[in-house]
Amino acid sequence: MPQPARRFAGAPAARDTLAAQLKARVALLALFVGSMWAVFFLSAALPFLNLNQHGVVPRTLGGLQGILIAPWLHASLGHIAVNTSGLLVLGWLCLWPRIANFWHATLGAMLGAGCCAWLFGAPNSVHIGASGLIFGYAAYLVGRGFYTRNLVSILVALLVASSYGLTMLFGVLPLFSGVSWQSHIGGALGGVLAARAQSRSRARVS
């Protein structure tokens, strides 16, 4: 006799695969954002280390290190708390459908934000914080929808644009003192370029 249950034999495996994918992404994002909180608490506990001096210092040789370090440095609890929400929401969206997407967006945003702050920031200023990554993630998600023309990517792009559009618009304008609009512009540019490069790479493969 036929075994009806065999029709659904693949369902548990599919659920296990999805559960594994979710766990991997939750763990990665938790470690990524958690590392920023660890640095923040270390800086608060050991103020004599003056970790925030290692941010991006425009047009100085030593300030170049901040391109890779600045996203882990924050000025206050409010600063890192605000950035955390954006990192979690947008970072999570960047993790799908492939984890590699997240790293592409992160690298593009980090390099774009850091280089732009280093080139165009005010003399003797220090640029710190993960807001450049947030702008990069948002721009990457919007750019991915534009370049790939995939229905899901387009829907995500529209959601991000409607939710973060005004924040991004005002964030790239030099309207507020103490805000690194240079990092925001650079991060957004890096995110768009990452989306463009990724779409072209997939087109060559297919």
Q: What is the pLDDT of residue 88?
A: 99
| Region 33-45 average pLDDT | 98
Q: What is the pLDDT of residue 201?
A: 79
Q: What is the pLDDT of residue 135?
A: 99
What are 163-179's pLDDT values in tens digits?
999 999 999 999 988 99
Residue 9 above 60 pLDDT? Answer: no
| Region 178-191 average pLDDT | 97
Q: What is the pLDDT of residue 7?
A: 52
Q: Which residues of 106-134 are buried (b: 16+ CB within 10 A; e: fewer)?
A: bebbbbbbbbbbbeebeeeebbbbbbbbb
Q: What is the pLDDT of residue 2?
A: 53
User: In total, how many domains does the chain have?
Assistant: 1
Lowest mean pLDDT among 11-25, 92-106, 153-167: 11-25
Expressed as residue numbers, the domain containing 140 is 4-205
C-alpha 41: how far from its chain's center? 21
CATH code of residue 126 = 1.20.1540.10
Q: What is the pLDDT of residue 192?
A: 98
Q: What is the pLDDT of residue 198?
A: 92
Say how far apart CA 175 and CA 132 lie, in whole Å. Answer: 16
Let me know if 187 is exposed, middle or buried by CB neighbors in 10 A (0-12, 13-18, 19+).
Answer: buried
